[in-house]
Amino acid sequence: MKRPLTAWILACACVALPACDDKGSAGQSIAKALDTPKKEEPKVASKPKAKEAVDPNAAPWTRDAVRDAMVAGTKVAYARTGTDAKGKKLGGKLTYVISDSGKDGPTTSYTIEPDPGTNAASAMPAMTPWSVASPFFAMEKPTTTIVGREPVTVPAGTFETTKAEMKDFFGNSKTVWMIVDRPGLYAKVLEAGKDEADKTAIVYELVELPTP
């Protein structure tokens, strides 16, 4: 009787072993699946920051930007057309030069070619304080009203500008087109008379970008 019992036990063990192996394999497969790294989700590209809206009623330059751009030796030329206070036709080329660019302000002088002999004092140096306005076509204690942005085409090219109305302490007025990315430089200037009797209507248009 002992032999059959022993044989029966051995038979059960042989049957049980494959089952244990299968269970072990299954466990290993589950562990392997758990250890498998998860696929990373694709990164969503961040949206570019929106550009700040341009304020059309703000001056395009700062005082410091004008001071840094308008160095000694800067020369700029404008074509001149229109009429003077008496209605006489004008022409020629107006050239400005900055002879000194100091802490307090630039020193400028200008000449007109051909000079009719009426601007003998034009070559005299004049110093003006730094401001958000151009050192050229300087005005005495001006009030400035920004009109808005607009492109302007002159002999020197086409520029994005800020148009502004300026009036000084003595009642003189100018309309200027400030080149947005060129601090201290007007693309165009319109000079008007003080009253109906004053026939001044002079237009200055930038001929070439300043040197150096």
Domain boundaries, the chain: 63-211
Q: How far is 32 from 22, CA to CA, in rounded Å?
A: 15
Angle (CA) 191 194 196, round 5° = 110
Q: Which amino acid is at 28?
A: Q
Q: Which CATH number fits domain 63-211: 2.50.20, 1.10.443, 2.40.30, 2.60.40?
A: 2.50.20
Residue (of 118, 134, 127) closest to 60 by Cα position: 134
Taking residue 121's Cβ as centre, other Cβ atoms within 10 Å add up to 8
Tens digits of pLDDT across the chain (212 residues)? 445 554 444 444 444 444 444 445 555 655 555 555 556 666 666 666 655 666 777 889 999 999 999 999 999 999 999 999 999 999 999 999 999 999 999 999 998 887 655 555 566 788 999 999 999 999 988 899 999 999 999 999 999 999 999 998 888 899 999 999 999 999 999 999 888 888 999 999 999 888 76
Taking residue 63's Cβ as centre, other Cβ atoms within 10 Å add up to 14
Question: In sequence order, which residues have a C-beta less than 8 Å from that of residue 90 and are 6 or more positions away?
Answer: 80, 81, 82, 83, 84, 202
Q: How deeply is 36 buried, as exposed, middle or buried, from its count of CB atoms within 10 A (0-12, 13-18, 19+)?
A: exposed
- pTM score: 0.72
What Å distances lie between residue 15 and 7, 79, 115, CA to CA? 12, 109, 121
Q: Which amino acid is at 199?
A: K
> Contact, 189 vs 65, CB < 8 A?
no
